[in-house]
Structure 1
């Protein structure tokens, strides 16, 4: 959404649609620009949506909730799954504010676990999807985890972001190489530029990051291309004890706590 104006937002359809009936119960995640999202959906897809889901309350994620609901002409009162009352909903609809660890059963062997990740906002929620039949995983991370980055600490601290990212890892332990990451924005190019300038400054300092940098040169849409294991390999916000990361924040002697490294690293990114 809004790529032409620099917004580079993602909205996602979590769908189980299958022929021949093409009917199901599906989620639309962060449809902030209703008309743009609608134009990307077939009539079958649009009419199958039962639930509007937000990763957090910011307008570029939740601002289209009510307007999008009016587009669902086949379903007058779609359900909402939101992190807090800060996201607008229809008063006549079922509204869920999920607890950490709450499981939603979408059928067809697909479940979604809500993972509370307060920091960017206090109501931030990541959604971990599991297809038990295929042993496939995906996580929709909103503005908590980006490819090679993390969100700003608008309502939280470095300690909270560090805790939230580790909370994601704890909930996905044993499956990091299978969990594909779907963030709320396409910030990879700017993240790569920052990392090359401030952290792994030379080719060979981090081979996984070198590969990402080359991929970014010729790829615009990178969502879903990387796993949590990839993030552990090239995302400095998930490698707080890496000597290059420590050096970047001025901790050559390795004396800072991980939360302090997180805080200083994000400050560097904010000022970059």
Structure 2
């Protein structure tokens, strides 16, 4: 049996812990801090950390890699086009990697960083997307262009609707506040905001999301919608020439929201 738990790190990061409960082995995604993972292993004797999956090079995603590899000998896999500490396997678009008996597909999603990748498991319908796609939002463009990020998000949005979206930050409420400013009359968005407020007040995390839910409520995946285009044009005072232009206007608006 396979299951996924979130190990909180820093103020709002999640390290995703994928577990094979029969074999008592596990993998982690984007361990920015080794301590939560080592604490879990200490509390669950007999378990083996076999794999460390990395989506991009930022410190809050790779900071715990060296210590975890030293402690467990786990294989480290990450993007070929970024400097990943202790990396054993370099991955690029279209590659496949077997983790805990499952084959994950590698998808290039440049934008947040130039070499950012995502891991998609089609049988379990899991997507580990780092800081590319967020619940109701997307990552800042620290290295890439709006064109790159819009293309990346469009690839993720084309995955099956029931795909579970495991991003790595608890940004959902702040993202929903912005989304409601863009589409204040979107009923699915209003309902989602109410649900997430209740979850967070109860101490529950807001993840994973799903591709279906993101298509319905995430403005960055809705650049083709007339309501989103109209909101961006009203905010910027300029016409958007394309869906990429709508995305660029959304990202600039969100950066200063």
Select which of 73, 83, 87 maps to 1:86.
Answer: 83
Report matched runs for 1:1-272 at 5 Å: 1-2=8-9, 7-18=11-22, 22-24=23-25, 26-41=26-41, 44=44, 47-72=47-72, 77-83=73-79, 84-89=81-86, 95-106=88-99, 108=101, 110-131=102-123, 136-170=124-158, 172=159, 175-176=160-161, 178-196=162-180, 198-201=181-184, 205-220=185-200, 221-224=205-208, 226-250=209-233, 255-272=240-257
Count how many residue pairs are aligned between Structure 1 and Structure 2.
Answer: 243
> How far apart are residue 247 of structure 1 and its match?
1.9
> How far apart are residue 28 of structure 1 and its match?
1.2
How far apart are the structure 2 equivalents of 1:211 and 1:40? 35
Gaps of 5+ in 1: none
- The alignment partner of 2:233 has SS state of coil
**Scaled by the length of structure 1, what TM-score is found?**
0.82
The answer to whether the 8 A contact 2:56-2:82 is kept is no
- After superposition, the CA RMSD in angstroms is 2.1
- The alignment partner of 2:125 has SS state of strand
The answer to whether the 8 A contact 2:109-2:149 is kept is yes
The structure whose residues are more often strand, as a share, is 2
More deviation, 42-51/152-161: 42-51
How far apart are the structure 1 equivalents of 2:240 and 2:69? 51
> How far apart are residue 250 of structure 1 and its match?
1.2
- Deviation by residue 1:162-205 (Cα, 9 ceiling, x = unmatched): 100112234x2xx22x2010101110010111122x2122xxx2
Gaps of 5+ in 2: 1-7
Structure 1 pair 45–152 and aligned structure 2 pair: CA distance change class (3 A): farther
> How far apart are residue 261 of structure 1 and its match?
0.8
How far apart are the structure 1 equivalents of 2:248 and 2:213? 22
Structure 1 pair 107–12 and aligned structure 2 pair: CA distance change class (3 A): closer
The answer to whether the 8 A contact 1:66-1:88 is kept is yes
The answer to whether the 8 A contact 2:34-2:67 is kept is yes
The answer to whether the 8 A contact 1:38-1:46 is kept is no
> How far apart are residue 153 of structure 1 and its match?
0.5
Structure 1 pair 116–45 and aligned structure 2 pair: CA distance change class (3 A): farther
Structure 1 pair 41–212 and aligned structure 2 pair: CA distance change class (3 A): farther
> How far apart are residue 45 of structure 1 and its match?
7.3
**Scaled by the length of structure 2, what TM-score is found?**
0.87
